[in-house]
Amino acid sequence: MTTSNSPLDVIIIGAGISGLSTAIALRRIGHNVKIYERSNLKNELGAAIHISPNASRILLSWDFDVKRARFVKAMKTYIASGNTLQKFYEGSYDHVEPTYGAAWYLSHRVDLHEELKRLATTSEGPGKPAVIIPNSKVDDYDVEAGTITLSNSEVHKADLIVAADGVHSQATKHILGSLQYPEHTGQSAFRFLIPTADIIADPETADFVKDDDGRFKVFTGVRGNRIVWYPCRNNEEQNFAAIFHEDTSETKEDWDASVSGEKLLEEYQDFHPAILAVFRKAKSVKKWPLLFREPLPAWYKSKLVLVGDAAHPMLPHQGQAGAQAIEDSVALGVVLNGVTKTELQNDPNALAKRLELYQTIRRRRAAAMQIFSNFGQDQGDKCAEAVKPYHDGPIPMNPAEFIVYNFSYNVKDHSEQALKDAKL
């Protein structure tokens, strides 16, 4: 039976990384969660994704099973010339886990997604299981009434609607009044996976993956091309993002857009023959135009709030898109902890105060990360001006400084302190 002291009914739009993380955070504090997802959730896509300590710390606190998800711990790195293979930087990540309280993991997006889905919907653990309703596309929102309308015309109502509908969010226009359009950065990325066994089987390429557990590699080229290469799935798959200059008017990312392997080889023709031998093993190559969006001025209106890519789409250069989505879920969980229907009925501003606090906690950090993510970790100087409105203190300038900036942030501590200070 629903009483006015009941926890909130929350509808989440989208069962991606942010929708599922938010479902976990909110079910754990007792709210009733339903997720409407437009796909059938049977053909999850994507390649590998970073789960850095600022996010893995959170997953571990939720009893996320890294073994089941076949995560790989990032252990070491090198940066080398893509033309000569000469290494100009080698480093170890041995210090990461003891320093930041959790490891830096490399995951296949599908494996991360599966384990989050299990945690959101399992009958074990705190709170009631979230319910996922697949094949349910949301076509419209009424932010004042707290309703959504599905493409089959069904209307559903909740105390709070969380839009986790990704980079092409339609929910944002109900907050901002219009959709936000992206700009192309002049760069695109080829993305593909190659089984480690295929690379080992070829004497020309085997050395790349020998003694290579958890190695994160970067190969740079003279024309600005850059390969980011790391393992996932228990080191059984090698993940590649090969960034290159492209003049294009494309204004929509499509994670599933295929291109021919010939195009990849053409763009990287000046790279070392051993790298090209690796590239020839790719059976399916996707191309992702790297589009930039300015930070949004607002993340909520009335009963609708944004999380994940809907709030802060970002490029892959910092490897933080998934981590920022997970941070959002924790902040929302902290500000909504203990909120009941009674509180919302007694104070018409109660929800707005909570969502304003969530936005205050999250927007500056996520906006700074959006801007830092436009450049490599050795290019902090290129975004120093743009990031100023969102960042206090010195700008990180190299990979070591970005590791400190990205990994040391603790969203739970920050959110709990902000809630205490706000005296809500």
Ligand X SMILES: Cc1cc2nc3c(=O)[nH]c(=O)nc-3n(C[C@H](O)[C@H](O)[C@H](O)COP(=O)(O)OP(=O)(O)OC[C@H]3O[C@@H](n4cnc5c(N)ncnc54)[C@H](O)[C@@H]3O)c2cc1C
Please state the closest distance from residue 41 (CB atom) to ligand X, in A. Answer: 8
Residue 258 to residue 76: CA distance in whole angstroms = 31
- Tell me which residues touch ligand X (CB under 6 A): 13-19, 36-39, 45-47, 49, 109, 137-138, 164-167, 170, 255, 308-310, 316, 321-322, 325
H helical segments located in 36-84: 53-61
Helix (H, G, I), strand (E, B) or coil at 242: strand
Residue 210 to residue 190: CA distance in whole angstroms = 24
To the query of whether residue 191 is one of the catalytic residues in this protein, the response is yes
Rank residues 196 and 318 by Cβ distance to ligand X and give the closer one: 318
Q: Are 410 and 394 in contact (CB under 8 A)?
A: no
The one-letter amino acid at 138: V
Please state the closest distance from residue 291 (CB atom) to ligand X, in A. Answer: 12
Please state the closest distance from residue 161 (CB atom) to ligand X, in A. Answer: 11
Rank residues 22 and 196 by Cβ distance to ligand X and give the closer one: 22
- Which residue has its beta carbon closest to ligand X? 16
Please state the closest distance from residue 324 (CB atom) to ligand X, in A. Answer: 8
Please state the closest distance from residue 270 (CB atom) to ligand X, in A. Answer: 26
Catalytic residue among 27, 57, 70, 191: 191
Rank residues 24 and 321 by Cβ distance to ligand X and give the closer one: 321
Other Cβ atoms within 10 Å of 123 Cβ, number: 6
Rank residues 167 and 335 by Cβ distance to ligand X and give the closer one: 167
To the query of whether residue 230 is one of the catalytic residues in this protein, the response is yes
Rank residues 302 and 318 by Cβ distance to ligand X and give the closer one: 318
Q: How far is CA 116 from CA 66, 106, 226, 360, 407, in A?
A: 11, 15, 31, 26, 21
Which residues does residue 13 pair with via DSSP β-bridges, in sequence order? Answer: 36, 163
Catalytic residue among 36, 141, 230, 358: 230
Task: Tell me which H or E stretch contains 119.
Answer: helix 109-121
Hey, which bits of 212-284 come out as E strands?
Answer: 215-220, 226-232, 237-245, 258-259
What is the phi/psi pair of residue 289, to 5°?
-70, 135
Rank residues 340 and 373 by Cβ distance to ligand X and give the closer one: 373
Rg of the chain on CA atoms, in Å: 22
Residue 413 to residue 422: CA distance in whole angstroms = 14
For β-strands 226-232 and 215-220, DSSP reports them as antiparallel
Residue 395 to residue 392: CA distance in whole angstroms = 8
Rank residues 171 and 403 by Cβ distance to ligand X and give the closer one: 171
Helix (H, G, I), strand (E, B) or coil at 28: helix
Rank residues 170 and 360 by Cβ distance to ligand X and give the closer one: 170
Please state the closest distance from residue 122 (CB atom) to ligand X, in A. Answer: 19
Please state the closest distance from residue 39 (CB atom) to ligand X, in A. Answer: 5
Buried b (16+ CB within 10 A) or exposed e, 250-259: beebeeeeeb
Please state the closest distance from residue 261 (CB atom) to ligand X, in A. Answer: 18
Long-range contacts, stretch 405-408, CB < 8 angstroms, 24+ apart: 406/52, 406/54, 406/318, 406/320, 406/323, 406/369, 407/52, 407/53, 407/54, 407/96, 407/99, 407/100, 407/104, 408/54, 408/100
CA 257 to chain centre: 19
Other Cβ atoms within 10 Å of 291 Cβ, number: 20
Q: Annotated active-site positions, please? A: 191, 230
